[in-house]
Amino acid sequence: MRTDLFPAIEPNRTGMLPVDQRHTLYWEESGNPDGCPVIFLHGGPGAGTSPTHRRFFDPAFYRIIMVDQRGSGKSTPTAEIRDNTLQHLIADLEQLREHLKVQGWLVFGGSWGATLALAYGQSHPERCLGFILRGIFLGRMSELHWFMHGIRMTFPEAWRDFMEFLPAPERDDPLTSYHRRLTHPDPAIHLPAARAWSRYEGRCSTLLPGPDAQAAELGAAALCISRLEAHYFVNDVFLAEDQLLTNIGRLRRHPCTIVQGRYDMICPAATADELARAWPEARYVVVPDAGHAALEPGIRASLIAATEQFRLIHGSAFLTGAVV
C-alpha cells in the first residue's frame, strides 16, 4: 500500500464563498471532479491550507476539497475573530457542501482539524462517509492547560521563552495575557506576541527539529494561528467539557482511522487513546517515532495509508452509489 505523498497537482477550480456579511472563505477543488469527495480540515485554528495537503489523496479517485476556515489562509478578513466560533465553522462546512453540490464526503482533519471533524460529524453524521483523524484534540480544560503549562516538562527551554516574553506580573495567567496582546489593534503589540506564540508551538511540534519546525514565527500565518488559537482557548473552544466524547455514539457506525504520534507534545497520546476506547470500531494507529506534525515521516505514511485503505475498502461502494 502506498505511503508516499502523491505528485503535486494544481486545483481544478477555486472560489471565494461569502458565508455572512463579514467572512468570505477561500475554497478549492483538485483531483477527480467525479471522484469520492474528501474535505480537508486544517489545524490551528488559523493554520490555513497549503498545496502539500492535496498530496495525501489519490487524485484519480478523490475529489479533493480544501477550505481556509474563518480568519485563516486566503479567507477574508485575515485573523478575524469576530463571528468566529466552532458553531460558525460547522455551519460554513454545510454552506460549502451545498455550494459544491456534495451529498456526502470523507472528513479528514488533524489537530484542530480533528476537533472540527468530530464536531461537524456529530452535527451532520448523515453527510459523512467516514473519518481520518490525526493528533487528537478534544478541546478540554486539561488539554488547554497542557498546552499552556504542561509542555514545559519536555520542552522547558521553549516554554521558558514563551513565558518570559511576558512581563513577570502577567505570567500567572499567560493565556489571558497573550490573548490581550494578540487582539490589540497595534501591530507593534500583537506581532511580537504572535511570533512568540508561534515559535513556542513550532519548537514543540516535531519529534526532531527540522527547518520548518522553528520557522512558524516568520510566516504570514503567525498572527492567524496565534490570535485564533488564543481566541478559541479563552472561550473553551466553544465546547462543553467532554462534549465530543459524550456524543461519539453518533459516529460509531462510520469508518474511521485515528493516527497519533507517540511523542506528540502538542496533543498528547492520552487523548487519542481515550477517543479510541470510546470508539472501538475505529482503527487506531500509534506511530512510534513521531511527534505532532502531519508531515513527519511516520505520520505522513500512516495518513496516506489511511486514505488508500478507504479507497480500497469503500471505493466500490461509493462508485456504485451504495451507502458507506
Q: Determine the 3-state secondary structure of 284 from DSSP.
A: strand
Indicate if 103 and 92 belong to the same structural domain.
yes
The residue-averaged pLDDT of 136-151 equals 98
| Average confidence (pLDDT) over 209-215 | 56
Do 226 and 304 lie in one domain? The reply is: no
Query: Which of 146, 191, 197 lies closest to 44, judged by CA?
Result: 197
Q: In this predicted structure, what is the pLDDT of residue 184?
A: 97
- When the pLDDT of each residue in the chain is averaged and rounded to a whole number, the result is 94
- Looking at the fold, whether 112 and 242 belong to one and the same domain comes out as yes
* Residue tagged active-site, from 30, 111, 198, 205: 111
Residues 22 and 126 occupy one common structural domain = yes
Catalytic status, residue 111: yes
Angle at CA of residue 319, ends 304 and 30, nearest 5° = 50
The phi and psi torsions of 129 (rounded to 5 degrees) equal -85, -25
Catalytic site includes residue 292: yes
| Exposure letters 62-100 (e unless 16+ CB within 10 A, then b) | bbbbbbbbbbbbbbbebbbbeebebebbbebbeebbeeb
pLDDT (tens digit, 9 = 90+) per residue, 73-127? 999 999 999 999 999 999 999 999 999 999 999 999 999 999 999 999 999 999 9
Q: Which range has the worst mean pLDDT, 185-194, 215-224, 286-295?
A: 215-224
Digit-coded pLDDT (tens) for 17-66: 999 999 999 999 999 999 999 999 999 999 999 999 999 999 999 999 99
- List the CATH number of the domain containing 273: 3.40.50.1820
Closest by Cα among 3, 26, 25 to 13: 26
Q: Specify the pTM.
A: 0.95
Residues 78 and 88 in one domain: yes
Q: Quick count: other Cβ atoms within 10 Å of Cβ 227?
A: 28
User: Is residue 99 annotated as part of the catalytic site, yes or no?
Assistant: no
Do 283 and 211 belong to one domain?
no
Sign of CA dihedral 237, 242, 246, 252: positive
DSSP character for 285? E
269-279 average pLDDT score:
98
pLDDT of residue 210: 66
| pLDDT for the residue numbered 208 | 86
Give me the catalytic one of 30, 198, 264, 302: 264
